[in-house]
Amino acid sequence: MRERKKKSIKYRLVSSVAILIASIFVLISIAFNLLISEYIKYNATQVLTESRQYIKDIPNNNREMPVEPKRPDKTPTGRAEALVVTSNYEVIKPELFQYNTNTDLTAFIEIIKKEKINLYTDQVEKITTDSGTYYYTSVHDKNSINSYIVYFINMTNLDEFKNSLSSILLAVMILALILTFYVTYIISTRITDPIKDLSAFAKRIGEGKYASIKDEFQDLELHDLKESMNETTKKLEEYDTEQRVFFQNVSHELRTPLQIIKTNAEGIEYNLIDKNKASSIIRDETDKLSELVEDIIYLSRLEARSNDMVYKEGDLRETLSYTVERYSTVFKKKNISIIYDFDDYPVLFKYDEKSIERAFHNLISNALRYTKDKIIITCKNQEGRIIVRVADNGTGINKEQLPNIFDRFYKGEKGVHGIGLSIVKSIVTSYNGRIEVDTSPKGSTFTLFL
């Protein structure tokens, strides 16, 4: 199928408005001409019909006719004239009625001889020639077998008036179209020029150029679009920077365990180190590497808003308790006590169990590394929001490190990969929640608001 040629907004806007204006004027012109024509015909018919009826009502052989035929009062069409002609269109007695000789009568006599008008009709007829426009009707003369009384009325002036008004309407239409073209062109230019600027701006964004657009637009919608694009550009620039840093950090984090694995493998190959010791190191580094890759993949899925998450309403206390139980052996080994501060009633929340469990796991793992001998787990409904806290009684977080603890690959004093807390923040943010941290020399508290 052949693709239709694309047209510019300016062309479509100008042409559409021009067609609309032209159509309106054409409809007005047609309606005007129809109304004026009907008005002229109606008045002419009224005058001629009454004149015709008046003659029919006169008794035979009565020659004392009125000076002029009877016509309606206040008729704007003028007066009806009359003459008697034979069936061969010979004028018999223009003097049958008392009238003042005028050019209308002379012109009409010439017309009936030339055009051979229909003398046998009972209707009002119209005839248009170079001489003008006339309406006429005929009545058989009761006093003569071969003669007819013809009544006519000259409507040339009204017809010319109608034509003059039509010409004026045409001139107004042409002027209006010209004005419409001009105004629409100016308006469309004010619309399309900013769109072209925004289009060029979008292309620059695609090329990785994130400089914001400074142009000011008068139209609110275009201004809002510009602001949205600038905001998007800012976020894209931040994301691009984060991605570059992310890949740099990933390459660094992957390089270290891989180098250790390679070194120990070469040591085994050349019998430089104990095989059992080297194998243990390789296994440990492989586990760390596997955990790091898993964290990176999980973080990528969170950012991509993967659709494989299953959201169900459940009790957060149960998920939190289950996660803590997984560390029970470690807690016993290190003599760490767990204190639960839970609501008595279910803390219901619609969530994906795997993601929330991952967040709880990272928080507890973090507390486990820094606490002395106690971790307090809180899960409550407070003031319409769900509060989850994980508090330790360690030495707290250095204030200089505090602003960066949620950054990717930022490792604290006892950190492993520096991804755990950033994953927690990403998970909480995906639920439109937030995470806060309070720290002091007596320990740190991480609070989730869901």
DSSP 3-state assignment of 122?
Answer: coil
282 and 315, same domain (yes or no): no
Say what percent of the chain tops pLDDT 90: 5
Contact indicator for 414, 421 with CB cutoff of 8 Å:
no
158 and 14, same domain (yes or no): yes
| Residue 50: φ, ψ to 5° | -70, -40
158 and 16, same domain (yes or no): yes
Which has the closest alpha carbon to 142: 60, 49, 82? 60
291 and 389, same domain (yes or no): no
156 and 14, same domain (yes or no): yes
Residue 362 lies in a domain: yes
52 and 147, same domain (yes or no): yes
| Residue 179: φ, ψ to 5° | -65, -40
Residue 355 lies in a domain: yes
Distance of CA 155 to the CA centre of its chain: 56
Q: Domain containing 257 — which CATH number?
A: 1.10.287.130
Q: Which two tokens stand for residue 285?
A: 């580094």
Across 178-192, 237-251, 338-352, least confident range:
237-251
Q: Which two tokens stand for residue 183?
A: 């105004």
Q: What angle do CA 96, 98, 104 make, to 5 degrees?
A: 90
Say what percent of the chain tops pLDDT 70: 85
322 and 420, same domain (yes or no): yes
Global confidence as pTM: 0.50
Domain end position, chosen among 303, 332, 354: 303
Residue 118 lies in a domain: yes
Q: Is 2 exposed, middle or buried (0-12, 13-18, 19+ CB in 10 A)?
A: exposed
Span 330-336, average pLDDT: 88
pLDDT at 64 exceeding the cut of 50: no
Confidence of residue 306 (pLDDT cuts 50, 70, 90): low
Residue 225 lies in a domain: yes
Domain end position, chosen among 268, 303, 338: 303
pLDDT at 253 exceeding the cut of 80: no
User: What b/e readout covers 163-192, taking b as 16+ CB neighbours within 10 angstroms?
Assistant: eeeeeebeeebeeebeebeeebeeebeebb
CA distance 60 to 63: 8
Confidence of residue 63 (pLDDT cuts 50, 70, 90): very low
For residue 315, what pLDDT is reported? 92
Strands (E) across 53-209 are located at: 81-86, 125-129, 132-140, 147-154
pLDDT at 393 exceeding the cut of 80: yes
274 and 338, same domain (yes or no): no
Q: Long-range CB contacts (< 8 A, 24+ apart) of 92-100?
A: 92/144, 92/147, 96/65, 96/149, 97/65, 97/66, 97/67, 97/68, 97/69, 98/67, 98/68, 99/67, 99/68
Provide the domain limits for residue 112: 9-163
CA distance 140 to 151: 11
Span 325-350, average pLDDT: 89
DSSP 3-state assignment of 317?
Answer: helix
229 and 318, same domain (yes or no): no
319 and 251, same domain (yes or no): no
For residue 77, what pLDDT is reported? 55
For residue 96, what pLDDT is reported? 40
Domain end position, chosen among 259, 287, 303: 303
Residue 336 lies in a domain: yes
The structure tokens 């009125």 sit at 66
Span 368-384, average pLDDT: 88
Tell me the residue type at 240.
Answer: D
- Name the helix (H) or strand (E) containing 437: strand 434-440
pLDDT at 414 exceeding the cut of 70: no
Question: With left for phi above 0 and alpha for psi between -120 and 50, is residue 82 left, alpha or beta?
Answer: beta
Distance of CA 291 to the CA centre of its chain: 47
Residue 183 lies in a domain: no
389 and 279, same domain (yes or no): no
Q: What angle do CA 132, 133, 134 make, to 5 degrees?
A: 120
290 and 376, same domain (yes or no): no
DSSP 3-state assignment of 145?
Answer: coil
The strand pair at 132-140 and 125-129 is best described as antiparallel
Contact indicator for 449, 386 with CB cutoff of 8 Å:
yes
For residue 72, what pLDDT is reported? 43
How many structural domains are present in the chain? 3
| Beta pairing partners, 349 | 314
